A and B are shown apart, each in its own frame.
Chain A
Amino acid sequence: MARQSRTTTSDPMGRIVDLGLPGVQLPSPLALDSSVLIPQFLTAFHTPHPRVALRAAQLFALLQSSGAVGIITSTVANEFFHFAITATYKAEIPNHHANLVAHFGRRRGFDWKDLYKIDGTILQRLDSDLERLRRFVRGNGLVFLQPDDLMPVASGRPLDEELVHLVGLYGLDTSDTAVLVEAQRAGVSSIATLDQDMHRAVADFDVYTWL
């Protein structure tokens, strides 16, 4: 297989597809980067939408109308739920000011991580909302990858070696690379992203984005 001997991105296997062009058809399945999933939170609140939210909404609409299936890797799932947790803790900071001062002393401001360090009950109360969020995402036809969806690494390298190898090949950080490794192991060779860095995945993927 070609990928086993690849050491350069100068001869890409994939292509970059501009979702801003009319008539673009989505492949199925299509991996979703967190950069297209998380702006759904913005879509819910903004009228008119900032461009990033508008594009994410357009992608969702395109998935629905075309019947293409969006795939969520475990790395993207982590980032998505982490975002929900971050937003929840940020919203709670004003309600816990006295407790925060008692633990950390007086400061100009507190970070959500300060509150997270001293109060896990907020997350325990959020549990049912996270479960609903998970079901609403699945209800949109998006599929969370399961462990048994992952096939062996195609190159035959151990997973840790493959991760480090692809970080070097793509020039991407580990979390971005981990998304791509998981997608590859699921047999998915297309990804939708609003993250310019991820265009470098074109070495092995068709990258659907807005140019």
Chain B
Amino acid sequence: MVVKAPTHRHNPTLDRHIEENRVEAARFRAEHGDPAEALSSFIRETFNREAVIEAYEEYLNEGHGTPEPDDDLGPDG
């Protein structure tokens, strides 16, 4: 099968927003360190673990995402 490239459209406005966000993200990293860990830490401090798991199960039941058959989402998962 010949694979064609999807249609790319240059978007200078998005490029500008990406650059602005890059500056903001660098500032965030300087303030908070590893941004992924900072996000995880914030989520742990703000949200309830069991409620998050229940909400995720509801999200899957609504047809979003694909359940992994061997994934245990329970508290000890």
Chain A residues at the B interface, C-beta cutoff of 8 Å: 1-3, 12-15, 29, 34-35, 38-46, 50-52, 57, 60-61, 64, 69, 71, 79, 83-84, 86-88, 90-91, 129, 132-133, 135-143, 145-146, 148-149, 151, 154, 173, 184, 186-190, 194-197, 204-206
Partner of B39, one of A2, A139, A148, A204: A139
Chain B residues with CB below 8 A from A57, complex form: 36
Interface size class of B (residues with CB under 8 A): 35 or more
A145 to B14, CA, bound (A): 8
Quick check: A140 and B53 within 8 Å, CB to CB?
A: no
How far does the alpha carbon of A84 sit from the alpha carbon of B48 in the complex, in Å? 10
Q: A136-B38, A138-B21 are in contact. Are A87 and B7 (CB under 8 A)?
A: no
Q: B43-71 interface mask toward A, CB cutoff 8 Å, 1 = contact, 0 = none?
A: 11011111111111011000111101011
What CA separation (Å) do A83 and B53 show in the bound complex? 11
* The 6 A-B residue pairs with the shortest CB-CB distance in the complex, in nearest-first order: A139-B28, A187-B9, A189-B6, A91-B51, A91-B48, A44-B43
